[in-house]
Structure 1
Amino acid sequence: MFNARDLAVAQGVAAALLFLSIPCFTWLGLGTRQTVGALHGLASMLTVIVSAFLLHLTYPLLRGREEATKRLIGPLWITNLLTLLSVIFGNWLYIGYRAHDGAQQWYLANAPAAHTVVMEYKEFVSLFPLPLGLAAAFLLWRYREDLHGSGVAHVVAMLITLLWICLLIGLATGLGLAKLKLV
């Protein structure tokens, strides 16, 4: 009746839906900052999920399979678009963070290490995935015919791996900062 693949897909979809529902609880506050925060959280979580799928699609590329480039380009552009949305909503939140009575003031008074180390680090690491993803997309487009069996496939895989690591660091530090004080 069901095979292992069906069960694995059902498990993955259920986990993804539950994972993505976390920011929806923020909407219960119905404030503008909460809404933007929820959109930023939703875009960030969805980006990490899609980028994990993207990372797994690099394995056939490294093995030299010819269909790998075609399967990789769509999720890569979706990841780039979601990364852009995450950055836009994150910058929108950052305005309130740096405001006179914003979260930055609270962090500097109550948890200076959280601001100095985590927030400043998160701020820069979270901006890296977009240029990494655009560079990978450009290389896939430019070398689409000569990609298999070349060093360019390894460079694309490295860029996508770095993209995923930066997204994961940004998500983990963002969740940690939100846990310290909800912005």
Structure 2
Amino acid sequence: MNGIHDMGGMHGFGAIPDIDGPEPFHHDWERHVFAMNVALGGLGLWNIDMTRAEMEATAPEDYLAPGGYFYRFLLRMERQALKYDLASPEEISSGVVSQPPRSGLSAMKPEQIAVMVAKGSSSMRPTENEPRFKVGDRVRARRINPETHTRLPRYVRGCEGVITLVQGSHVYPDDSCHGDENPQWLYAVRFA
């Protein structure tokens, strides 16, 4: 998808602020939004690539609004809660539960959230295919303009690079955002 989220290499947004220390959160509400993000993801209704695609669907004026990264998380979670019948628009606007929870779902326990954040989950998948490229091969990134999610940044599309690492077969995010894992070989590519 070509949108405001693909900001790599763009100028005009000011300096990137330093983060002092290992703590990624600047406010308590950010910590809570992050925990809700992991807990909701633990329901198994969507995968990380569906989450990225939903984040990319954020309107530019909301994407660039004050509040930054975790504010975008919150907007995305609200849309997913509506899409997957986890909350009604009234519940989201009021903050008050008015309907019984969706049945058939198991919530993560708080201690499971810490484990999920620490360990994550692997995107590696088995494959019968051999890798198409090897370390040192020169490759050219496709010049694409998809209407949906892609992990190929705009600033390297059509550019030539060199394979520096073959990382195994992984879920292909561009298809995974539609529910199809379609494992592909993953390469690290160095671009000039």
Same fold (TM over 0.5): no
More strand per residue: 1 or 2? 2
TM range (shorter): under 0.3
Question: TM-score scaled by structure 2?
Answer: 0.21
Structure 1-normalised TM-score?
0.21
